[in-house]
């Protein structure tokens, strides 16, 4: 007998996930207030296994028990209000899945509310945009309940596949799937900004749009590409009415908040994610351009494409390491036992940050103990070291030519700081102790003491 899933929400993601389930032989029961929307989707399906209801109680009653209901509605208010309504209709052992971009703490709260009612809950991060949802997204599941095998195989059937298998991660804790998705988005912000900065460097080097597009495209042959690099190559060369589209887009970047939540969460845990901070800040800063009486111009750069390639690699790897370190830290603090190779597999295909780099790092993990922290893997540090000289040349040239590269530079600074044998923070502690008696720790001592400075 075929399985059935109930889906609430018919936005871009909800509609495409519904069609994806339908294609994979899962009966889909939809809830939407608009009968027209439901009928449009039924018409689009190549199968005859989609049903729809405009009344929530009829929708719930139609689904066989234990019901599996997937929410594909905007995070926050919309998710909370539909969950509240569903609570009155669902029965013990039913399973509620939140597939929106919910903040992980909201998923923990919703999961706990479900638990009180004996309803199972899964917080499921979905990545891959419209095409991913339709043909294979990366799915990040978090639950404190056992996920039934039949549900897991339904979910796997719609997911993206990689050389290591389905891109479905199953993590312990109601909020952990959404936490992993949030970090995915933080890394996404930094990767996007690294490409924007590279675009700026190449523009200042007087490369034409076609040349820049070709440069990004060429990274594919060298196994240095990514989904974001590929779409950037397409975007930069796209013309309408003989004009490049990109040249007619306002350089003001918006966000829906997941990058900000990544930054806020890392600050709450006192954990550094500088490349992601800078990437988020770059979007904010783009709203405050040309604020001075005099407008300045970047000078011509004399770029070496090989060095830019290595700079992009370095900055992307540095960002990825920062993100993975935060996942390791969060996992230890919250006793979640998150396995990094599993996260890497989760992101190998379908999601927005899928890339050759992730494949490469996943392969490196194959040969080591999974308990090693990413910064204990020599091969990974060697990759950064190999590209370091080219990175320095690019940074020097950008400084000389007045090209802003906040994420590239911060990825470099983070590596230098986190690997260097000297850190000047002793002076910060001394200053704090000098003016405020905030105390210092002497080398090899645990105790905090106030020193006599005058
Ligand atoms: C994904 C994307 C997706 C979406 C972001 C956009 O993994 O499919 O990350 O979740 O693109 O919500 O986020 P911003 O509007 O904040 O850029």
Distance CA 179, CA 102 (A): 9
Distance 235 CA to ligand 1 centre (A): 18
Q: Which two tokens stand for residue 132?
A: 């991913």
pTM for the model stands at 0.97
Residue range 417-421: average pLDDT?
A: 97
Residue having the nearest C-alpha atom to atom 1 of ligand 1:
127
- In ligand 1, which atom is closest to the CA atom of 137? 8
Q: Are 275 and 324 in contact (CB under 8 A)?
A: no
Instruction: Supply angle C-alpha 194, 302, 243, rounded to 5.
Output: 65
Residue 1 has pLDDT above 70, yes or no: no
Quick one: which H or E segment has residue 378?
Answer: helix 378-401
Distance 186 CA to ligand 1 centre (A): 10
Residue having the nearest C-alpha atom to atom 4 of ligand 1:
129
Catalytic status, residue 36: no
Domain ranges of the chain: 4-174, 181-419, 425-454
- DSSP single-letter state for residue 395: H
Residue 370 has pLDDT above 90, yes or no: no
- In ligand 1, which atom is closest to the CA atom of 129? 8
Residue 109 has pLDDT above 70, yes or no: yes
Range list of H helices, 238-377:
258-268, 274-285, 305-333, 340-346, 356-366
Which fold, 181-419? Answer: 1.10.1040
Residue having the nearest C-alpha atom to atom 12 of ligand 1:
256
pLDDT digits 0-9 by tens, 42-58: 988 888 899 999 999 99
Q: Catalytic: which of 15, 68, 181, 237?
A: 181
Place of tokens 């009486």: 293
Q: Which residues line ligand 1 (CB under 6 A)?
A: 101, 127-129, 185, 188, 255-259, 351-352
Mutate to test the pocket of ligand 1, among 352, 354, 355 (most ligand atoms within 8 A of CB): 352
Distance 185 CA to ligand 1 centre (A): 6
Distance CA 248, CA 255 (A): 20
- For a pLDDT cut of 70, what percent of the chain falls above it? 100
> Is residue 169 left, alpha or beta, with left meaning phi > 0 and alpha meaning psi from -120 to 50?
beta
Q: Are 52 and 74 in contact (CB under 8 A)?
A: no
* 168 phi/psi in degrees, rounded to 5: -125, 120
Distance 348 CA to ligand 1 centre (A): 17
Distance CA 415, CA 432 (A): 26
pLDDT digits 0-9 by tens, 237-286: 999 999 999 999 999 999 999 999 999 999 999 999 999 999 999 999 99
- DSSP single-letter state for residue 250: -
Distance CA 95, CA 122 (A): 8
Superfamily of domain 425-454: 6-Phosphogluconate Dehydrogenase, domain 3 (1.20.5.320)
Residue 160 has pLDDT above 80, yes or no: yes
CATH number, domain 4-174, options 3.10.450.630, 3.10.20.30, 3.40.50.300, 3.40.50.720: 3.40.50.720
């Amino acid at each position: 007998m075929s399985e059935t899933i109930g889906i609430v929400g018919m936005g871009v993601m909800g509609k495409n996930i519904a069609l994806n389930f339908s294609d994979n032989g899962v009966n889909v029961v939809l809830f939407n207030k608009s009968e027209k929307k439901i009928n449009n989707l039924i018409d689009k399906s190549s199968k005859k296994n989609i049903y729809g209801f405009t009344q929530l109680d009829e929708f719930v009653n139609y689904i066989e028990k234990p019901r599996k209901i997937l929410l594909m509605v905007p995070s926050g208010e919309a998710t909370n209000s539909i969950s509240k309504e569903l609570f009155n209709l669902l029965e013990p052992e039913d399973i509620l899945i939140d597939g929106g971009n919910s903040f992980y703490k909201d998923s923990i709260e919703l999961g706990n509310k479900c638990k009180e009612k004996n309803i199972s809950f899964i917080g499921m991060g979905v990545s891959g945009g419209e095409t991913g949802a339709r043909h294979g997204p990366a799915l990040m599941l978090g639950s404190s309940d056992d996920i039934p095998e039949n549900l897991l195989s339904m979910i796997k059937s719609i997911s993206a596949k990689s050389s290591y298998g389905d891109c479905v991660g199953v993590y312990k804790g109601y909020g952990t799937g959404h936490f992993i998705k949030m970090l995915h988005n933080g890394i996404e912000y930094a990767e996007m900004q690294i490409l924007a900065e590279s675009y700026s460097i190449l523009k200042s080097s007087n490369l034409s749009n076609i040349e820049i597009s070709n440069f990004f495209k060429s990274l594919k042959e060298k196994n240095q590409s990514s989904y974001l690099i590929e779409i950037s190559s397409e975007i930069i060369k796209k013309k309408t009415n003989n004009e490049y589209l990109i040249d007619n887009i306002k350089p003001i970047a918006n966000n829906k908040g997941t990058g900000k939540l990544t930054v806020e969460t890392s600050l709450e845990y006192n954990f550094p994610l500088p490349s992601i901070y800078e990437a988020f800040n770059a979007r904010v800063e783009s709203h405050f351009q040309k604020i001075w009486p005099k407008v300045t111009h970047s000078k011509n750069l004399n770029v070496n494409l090989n060095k830019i390639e290595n700079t992009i690699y370095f900055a992307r790897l540095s960002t990825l390491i920062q993100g993975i370190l935060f996942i390791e830290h969060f996992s230890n603090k919250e006793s979640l036992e998150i396995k990094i190779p599993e996260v890497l597999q989760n992101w190998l295909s379908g999601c927005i940050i899928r890339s050759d780099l992730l494949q490469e790092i996943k392969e490196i993990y194959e040969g080591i103990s999974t308990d090693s922290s990413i910064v204990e893997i020599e091969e990974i540090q060697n990759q950064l070291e190999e590209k370091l000289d080219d990175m320095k040349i690019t940074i020097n040239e950008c400084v000389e030519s007045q090209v802003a590269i906040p994420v590239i530079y911060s990825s470099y600074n983070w590596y230098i700081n986190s690997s260097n044998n000297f850190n000047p923070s002793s002076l910060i502690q001394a200053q704090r102790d000098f003016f405020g008696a905030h105390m210092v720790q002497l080398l090899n001592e645990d105790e905090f003491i106030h020193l006599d400075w005058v």
